[in-house]
Chains A and B, each alone.
Chain A
């Protein structure tokens, strides 16, 4: 191996030194110095990468792994899980609801397309399962339905077609707002309003007429049915 071979090898893997490299380093003072510099640099890189961690990210609540679906066991653990989840939930740092909604918009960009194809009844059923909400699928022209993890809860995420294009609807039965909240941030105009249970949010790209957002909100509100 010549100097260039040795420096290339050590520059990629400083800790891996075969007999050929060791032999070269024993006879080449320049490469030995270069290797010492590299070792020092790696030490500094490691220290630089180890940025301070204010506090470890908490482990998730101890719900049973779904890989062992035993209903009775899951039911037996539900109460304990709920208590632990409540503790974790109360300690979880919360950002503004509007910011969370805007952040969630990056998750399923493929859902926001103009289309005349409605979401299937099966998709709607799956998206709304467990939410205590049902919807008239025809009235609001729902084209996409998914149950999404949002702020540590699964919530119905719908896309509704409107004359101004597709709009995202989040049914937030556990997120409470005291009154109507309009926002325009991160490329999205939106509105969050109190609902019979929790709240309801509609988001559309910035620049969408406010009247169109309100029209979609009204159509969705009229089509949603909340279980008591």
Chain B
């Protein structure tokens, strides 16, 4: 097989493997960044890095975790420092992306608002589990935590969401 054929095949595989993951990858970064423009920039750069490093991806089945890792690092590298400097709880409403707020379904809007208010330590593992379909072990690897710590955060995240949505206690 010639090099050009190899490149064509690699490109086709990249599009097959990574193309369908773009929407959820974008949503994942959006829930990290809470800003559409930032999420689009981060995913754009992450896909570029992924394409450049595509030769290092051996198993198509690990593509989702691989892409998430790239995007997460890209987000941290580019924006986390700035976010830590500017984000304040009191400013959250002002910074909220309209896409995460109003919707015809009031319950969805309430859940999004509650998700929005969750601390990142609780929100991110929940997003990885529910949206991205990661196992506890995969989340632990992605976040550099023990599986036990991930379970605790997932449990607490749901507790907090229930409490926020029902106005009640977050006891189980």
A residues at B contact (CB < 8 Å):
4, 7-8, 11-13, 34, 37-38, 41-42, 44-53, 56-60, 62-68, 70, 72-73, 76-77, 93, 95, 103, 106-107, 109, 149, 152
Contact = CB atoms under 8 A, between A and B. Distances in A.
B51 A60 contact: yes
Contact of A60 (B40, B47, B112, B115): B47
Given A51-B100, A149-B45, A57 B22 contact: yes
Q: Which of A13, A42, A48 has the most CB of B within 10 A?
A: A48
B167 to A, nearest CB: 15
A72 B4 CA distance: 10
Given A11-B155, A65-B55, A53 B27 contact: yes
Given A12-B154, A41-B158, A48 B172 contact: no
B87 interface: no
Contacts of A12: 136, 150-152, 154-155, 158
B106 to A, nearest CB: 11
A59 B47 CA distance: 7
Nearest to B81: A106
A56 B107 CA distance: 26
A91 B151 CA distance: 43
Given A46-B130, A49-B31, A76 B4 contact: yes
B11 interface: yes
Interface of B: 2-4, 6-7, 10-11, 14-15, 18-19, 22-23, 25-27, 30-31, 37, 40-41, 43-45, 47-48, 51-56, 77-79, 81-82, 99-100, 105, 107-108, 111-112, 115, 126-127, 129-131, 136, 150-152, 154-155, 158-159, 161-162, 165, 172
A13 to B, nearest CB: 6
19 contacts: A7-B172, A8-B172, A11-B155, A45-B111, A46-B131, A47-B111, A51-B99, A53-B26, A56-B19, A57-B22, A60-B44, A64-B10, A65-B54, A67-B53, A73-B3, A95-B37, A106-B78, A149-B45, A149-B48
Contacts of B111: 44-45, 47-48
A13 B172 contact: no
